[in-house]
């Protein structure tokens, strides 16, 4: 099976649809997700309980379904970046990217020399346990590994043009909840300040030819975002999709099984 190239996927034209994993880590998840036609998975380590071992197992399961794994580490510390990549992440969604310097630091941690300073350990999960010539393997990894910059702060918006100009940044992704909070308008996604910030990120993505991403739990909103210029759409998350389906199903069962109320004026026997 060919190794998925998330970087190439993000650079391709047209819609890229993903799904996020925050809660579940079943060995069959990759195959289940693949049947839905998902292009990539956003695997979260920042807000979930996933440690590096669980992340590694989850990525192995996703590979069975041939689904690229975009992993969000807890921070931009070198050991968080390098370990997530060594565990097999096809790319990283880095939280709270606020400056050009931070973006350059992340690229340096993600890439092997001469592009960066990532430590070398070959024939591990990130190489699909395949042997190979070091020069070729390292160069291929540098070409394949994707970097998604999460723009979640007012600082990130202020510096968006500089961030987008960094070589190695493949996608600008608006973290809408955190961004709204950073702007002082918690959850007010129709607020003029939020829309202005999103427009600034969109313009930078177009100018520097970067993919533009965002997460939404609602299919109608996903469609609307695509029409607005977002080409990387992450539809919902594992626990929320499951929770909604369960609530809808249980509610329908209870409603269908509830005895009809007696009509007014009816006399009991």
In a domain, 32, yes or no: yes
* Predicted pLDDT at 30: 94
* Predicted pLDDT at 1: 56
Give percent above pLDDT 70 in the chain: 97
In a domain, 200, yes or no: no
> Looking at residues 89-117, what average pLDDT do you find?
98
> Looking at residues 67-96, what average pLDDT do you find?
97
In a domain, 194, yes or no: no
Give the domain range for residue 122. 6-142+213-249
- Residue with tokens 């009816």, as numbered in its chain: 266
In a domain, 261, yes or no: no
In a domain, 150, yes or no: no
In a domain, 72, yes or no: yes
* Predicted pLDDT at 16: 97
pLDDT value at 236 more than 80: yes
pLDDT value at 222 more than 70: yes
Q: Which of 111, 101, 236 is nearest to 168 (CA)?
A: 111
The CATH number given to whatever domain includes residue 48 is: 3.20.20.60
pLDDT value at 267 more than 60: no
In a domain, 193, yes or no: no
pTM more than 0.85:
yes
46 touches 74 (CB < 8 A): yes
* Predicted pLDDT at 242: 95
Instruction: Quickly state the pLDDT bin for 269 (edges 50, 70, 90).
Output: very low
In a domain, 160, yes or no: no
> Looking at residues 33-43, what average pLDDT do you find?
96
* Predicted pLDDT at 259: 85
**Which residues are marked as active site?**
47
Instruction: Quickly state the pLDDT bin for 214 (edges 50, 70, 90).
Output: very high
Task: Please state the domain count of the chain.
Answer: 1
**For the segment 245-258, what is each residue's pLDDT rounded down to a tens digit?**
999 999 999 999 98
pLDDT value at 2 more than 90: no
């Amino acid at each position: 099976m060919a190794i998925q190239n998330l970087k190439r996927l993000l650079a391709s034209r047209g819609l890229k649809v993903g799904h996020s994993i925050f809660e579940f880590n079943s060995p069959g998840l990759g195959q289940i997700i693949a049947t839905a036609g998902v292009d990539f998975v956003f695997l979260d380590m920042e807000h979930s309980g996933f440690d590096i071992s669980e992340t590694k197992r989850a990525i192995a399961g996703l590979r069975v379904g041939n689904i690229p794994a975009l992993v969000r580490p807890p921070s931009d510390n070198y050991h968080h970046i390098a370990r997530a990549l060594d565990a097999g992440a096809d790319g990283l969604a880095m939280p709270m990217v606020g400056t050009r310097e931070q973006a350059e630091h992340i690229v340096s941690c993600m890439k092997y020399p001469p592009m960066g300073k990532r430590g070398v350990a070959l024939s591990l999960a990130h190489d699909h346990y395949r042997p190979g010539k070091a020069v070729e393997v390292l160069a291929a990894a540098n070409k394949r590994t994707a970097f998604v910059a999460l723009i979640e702060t007012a600082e990130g918006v202020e510096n968006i043009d500089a961030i987008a100009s960094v070589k190695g940044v493949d996608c600008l992704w608006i973290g809408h909840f955190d961004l709204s909070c950073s702007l002082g308008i918690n959850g007010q996604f129709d607020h003029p300040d939020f829309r202005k910030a999103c427009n600034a990120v969109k313009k930078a993505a177009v100018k520097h030819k970067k993919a533009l991403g965002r997460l939404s739990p609602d299919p109608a909103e996903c469609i609307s975002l695509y029409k607005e210029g977002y080409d990387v759409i992450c539809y919902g998350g594992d626990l929320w999709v499951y929770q909604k389906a369960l609530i809808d199903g249980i509610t329908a069962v209870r409603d269908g099984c509830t005895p009809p109320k007696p009509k007014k004026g009816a006399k009991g026997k």
